Chains A and B, each alone.
Chain A
Amino acid sequence: MKAKAALVRATGSEERAEAEALFNSIGDGVITTDEFGKITRINPAALKILGYKESEILNRWFPQKIIAVDDNDQPINLIDRPITKAFLSGESVYEKMYYRKKNGGKVPVTVTVSPIILENRPVGAVEVFRDITIEYEIDRMKSEFISLASHQLRTPLSAIKTYAHMLIDGYMGDISPPQRKSLQTVVGAANRMNELISTLLNITRIESGNITITPKLVNLQKITEEIIKELDHSANAKGVKLQLKVSTKQLSIKTDSLIIKEVISNLVSNAIKYTPDQGSVTIRLSSRGQQHALICVEDTGFGIPKQAQEQIFTKFFRAQNVVRRETSGTGLGLYLVRGLTEQLGGKVWFESEEDKGSRFYLALPRQFSSQPKLTKHLQTKLNS
């Protein structure tokens, strides 16, 4: 009997030693807490990342000792911390953020916190976090490269377009109708190339959180008229009637003029592209309450099939009904529209019926306040 008890004790302590060795050998940082958020265990990897000694961490309240900050170096509110969310939801929470190190520096980390459930009750939490400094640096270098490459690609493209336009406009003398038509093809191809570069550049910027918002007073009617002027040629080529209806005069909002132009332009050019010949595209400008301007782009196009509607803002997604008819799309336009709109603090949504047309709505705050954090859908994309 005594021998059996001794064996059990020995096996128990062996198991504990093995579990301890396992915990201490995990390459990512691991911290466990009790049900009140008090730190109960921390492994060497976590101590190394944060620069603390074990005695400085144990038994301290997690949110107070492990300081999390955002991109702007501002502390993240307790309610927004993954550990709080995990306790409240009872589910694992994954996020990217920065942790403040003991020496005051900050380290980018990915964090997964899971509640520890025992007999249907949370008895604590376990957090696994990873230092992603190298990934951040690679991301930054990638963005810089794409930015520079885009600029270098665009300079010769600007020259091609400018000189083709000058020939069309008669700066170098009269040209024949077939010559004009050929030059218009050159301009059209340059525009498509430009669009692609612009889209790739903006997506890279949004996904890396590097987009810069410059709020200025923007007259929506003026900017929409400019867009119509620029897209009139492609609408005319298909016999699509492009019109603007304004129900609120002097609709000026404080936002980024270039980004909003890009967003509206994308929606309108999409509408033209996916509307059959002789159809119509109508842009309506109005107010939505006191705080928002509402832009609606309505077309009589192919529409979005019901089964495709949930995925329409997804990167590289193209609905089957348009893939059959229009082969030139990239599936990036609406993904970009949503990303840029969210950066402006706005919202985009749509109503659509196959073969009847679509209505895309864009609600934008009249006053842009500050750059929003990475939005949920982009965060999910980044994480994936």
Chain B
Amino acid sequence: MANILIVEDDVDLNAAYKIILENEKDYTVRSAFNGQEALEALKSFEPDLILLDLLMPIMGGLEFLQNYELQKKHPHVKVLIFTNMENSPEVNEAYKLGAHRCIIKSWTAPQNLARVITDALNEKTSEATV
């Protein structure tokens, strides 16, 4: 049993991830469509893991991480960057801001997504290898 917050602006993908995670595992899933909505959701929802897109309108993933002050306020929450911007400075920046791991959307099949999330939830932060 774990709480997962999906932050993804694409409505179709957001809905798909919700179905996958709710079907695959016993997860409670909440959806947000940009960083601003995610910050709002965090007032009433305590996630164990945040699945975070980077390029979003209103507030992107990096800005969300800066506002969220991940390491200070929520050190136990793992943030998985879920993006198509591989090998980019944005991913590097996300790691600096406390992201746990980065996975590439277009290369990750639904079952792999569920597995990666389970692995991340089971890993201690210091063991974060790929």
Contact with B along A124-165 (1 / 0, CB 8 A): 000000000000000000000001001100110111011101
Residues of A within 8 A of B111 (CB): 165, 169
Please determine whether A217 and B16 come into contact, CB atoms closer than 8 angstroms: no
Let me know if A68 is at the binding interface, CB within 8 A.
no
Q: How many residues of A contact B (CB 8 A)?
A: 39
Query: Does A258 contact B102, Cβ atoms closer than 8 Å?
Result: yes
Specify which of B10, B91, B105, B110 is in contact with A169 (CB 8 Å cutoff): B110
A166 touches B16 (CB 8 A): yes
**Number of chain B residues close to chain A: CB under 8 A:** 30
- Chain A, range 178-233, C-beta contacts under 8 Å to B: 190, 194, 198, 202, 205, 210-212, 214, 216-219, 222-223, 229-230
User: B92 and A157: CB pair below 8 A?
Assistant: no
Which residue of the partner chain B has the closest CB to A162? B16
User: Roughly how many angstroms separate A181 CA and B92 CA in the complex, as a whole number?
Assistant: 39
Interface centre among B17, B92, B112, B129 (most CB of A within 10 A): B129
Query: Within the assembled complex, what's the spacing in Å between the Cα atoms of A363 and B87?
Result: 20
A259 to B106, CA, bound (A): 15
Asked if A151 and B85 make an inter-chain contact with CB atoms under 8 angstroms apart, the answer reads: yes
Contact B104 A258 (CB under 8 A): yes
Main secondary structure of the interface of A (DSSP, over half): helix
Nearest Cβ on chain A to B109's Cβ, whole angstroms:
5
Q: A194-B107, A214-B95, A230-B107 are in contact. Are A155 and B84 (CB under 8 A)?
A: yes
The 4 A-B pairs of least Cβ separation, nearest first, read A257-B130, A154-B84, A158-B105, A159-B12
Contact A166–B110 (Cβ < 8 Å): yes
Query: Which residues of B, 1-24, contact A by the 8 Å Cβ criterion?
Result: 10, 12-13, 16-17, 19-20, 23
**Please, how many angstroms separate the alpha-carbon atoms of A262 and B16 in the complex?**
26
In the complex, what distance in Å separates the CA atom of A241 from the CA atom of B115?
25
